[in-house]
Amino acid sequence: MSRRNGANRVKRKAAARQRARDEAISAGKSKISTRPNPVRVLKNKNRQERCNRRSLYHGIMDPYYGYKHRQYPEASLAGLPAELRQQILIEAIDEDLLVRRSLWKIKKWIGDLSSVSPLIRIDMAYVGRQWRKEAMRSAFPLVPDGPGVYRGRKKKIELQSRRPHRCWYCDERHYLEFPKCPTARNSPALWKRITKVKRTYGRKVMFSDGE
């Protein structure tokens, strides 16, 4: 009898909550929910299966994931020899990314090309290394030998343990303790185009009683 009484008590409480909810909705005090009653969620197994199907980590963990040997048309990129195809992919990057050493943009470009097909993803393992080497090589520009080379003064710079705060004027960090903003120092034309003259607010005379 105790179990039956407990079950009846639960049903009465659920019915009371439903009546209170219906009264609140009819009185305009509560919004009608669009969720199904009761709310259903995916099981952990199905949720993990969907997550694995959408995941891009398969190609990262296993470069040969989804790769199947097949014959491609000779006039297509995939039908070319591997050496020629990799050379074409090496030339497919913007030179500015290598000169500026934008490693995170290079990584993004590698990921975009790797998602084209499993065959391109295998080639990008070699192409990505060549891009990184080229970016690091561009970090040390070659100085032409011969007369007329001017060697500037050397200055010892102490590296800071913490990076500096952002400047209020240019919203950039002034590394090496340069007082002038980096954009104003590197590209004055761009700095003039993206900035405006700061107004100096002072005491405004409303009535010139002293005159």
**pTM score of the predicted model:** 0.39
165 token code pair:
């705060």
Residues of the chain with pLDDT under 50: 34-39, 143-145, 205-211
**Given phi > 0 = left and psi -120 to 50 = alpha, else beta, which region is 203?**
beta
pLDDT tens digits, residue range 9-22?
888 888 888 888 77
Spans of all domains in the chain: 1-29, 59-137
pLDDT tens digits, residue range 43-67?
676 667 666 665 555 666 677 777 7
Q: Is the CB of residue 103 less than 8 Å from the CB of residue 135?
A: yes
